[in-house]
Amino acid sequence: MAISKSIPLENILVPDRLRAVDEDHALAISKSIAEHGLMNPVTIRQTPNGARTYTLVAGAHRLRGIELLKRDKVDAIVVKADANEAVLLEIAENLFRNDLSVMDRAVFVQTYRDIWQKTRGEIKRGNPQLSNSAKFAQLGNSPVDLIAQGTANGFSEVCADRLGMSRRAIYLLNTIAQNLPRELRQEIAGTRIANHQSQLLKLAKLEPSKRAKAHIAIRETKGDFKAAIDLLEPPAKKPDPELQILSRLIDAWERAKPATRKKFLAHAGLAATAKGGQS
């Protein structure tokens, strides 16, 4: 059962988020709160044995907006949830938002799948485990639960239906999420790359050794994708066209018969010189 309370900010721990807080977005929210009030309370859970009494579950931008207004308290809904359930709730609130970048959406979809399997059993078509199938029927109407109801028929199909995407699009999101290291995702966040699927896929398909250094290349080039890729995969130098011609001439000379060579020398006006050189 959820409880609504006004909680001091100093009592709320903000853990690492799947979606980093964008300061510009938080500033816009703070202005809206100042004018209209906080329309949607943040979601927190009790963590009596943690660093603080409560831990944020969802609403990091709203919480940051309250901080920017220099307020001491925030309206919050306190839910009963462990760490895994808290991540699912964060995903439930954010997964279907239109303002998510491609990278954020990829991470949410993959993390949802990982935690669902960790807490409720492996997702696969026609799951024969009755206990796991029975759990689907007991779910509610939250976005997470609505996805979960169909996972026995295929996770990709259900996500695709809920997000209005093709199964191929869900597959590509999973490819991005599974192959972008945390350091790289943090460096990309807030740049144009984060919302450019083809660039994210190119980074995801780099060799592991290059992928491990990609965050450094992104930082060094200040988010310039092409320049970063050139650092990771320097383009091959274009060969000198004149050297290519020379190479072909030498090859042709070595394969030519004496009569052909004599005709070539005559054509080049070198026959007399060559004859003199042989005397």
pLDDT 10s digit of each residue in the chain, 279 long? 567 889 999 999 998 877 778 888 899 999 999 999 998 899 999 988 888 999 999 899 999 999 999 999 999 999 888 888 888 778 777 766 667 788 888 888 788 778 777 776 666 554 444 344 344 334 344 444 544 554 444 566 666 666 667 778 888 888 898 899 989 998 998 889 999 999 999 999 999 999 999 999 999 999 999 999 999 998 877 888 888 888 888 888 899 999 998 888 888 877 655 454 443
The predicted pLDDT at position 146 comes to 46
Structure tokens belonging to residue 260: 């052909």
- Give all strands of the β-sheet with 54-58 in edge-to-edge order: 3-8, 73-79, 42-46, 54-58, 12-13
Q: In the CATH scheme, what is the code of domain 1-81?
A: 3.90.1530.10
Strands 3-8 and 12-13: unpaired
Domain boundaries along the sequence of the chain: 1-81, 242-278
Contact 38, 75 (CB under 8 A): yes
Tell me the whole-structure pTM to 2 decimals. Answer: 0.55
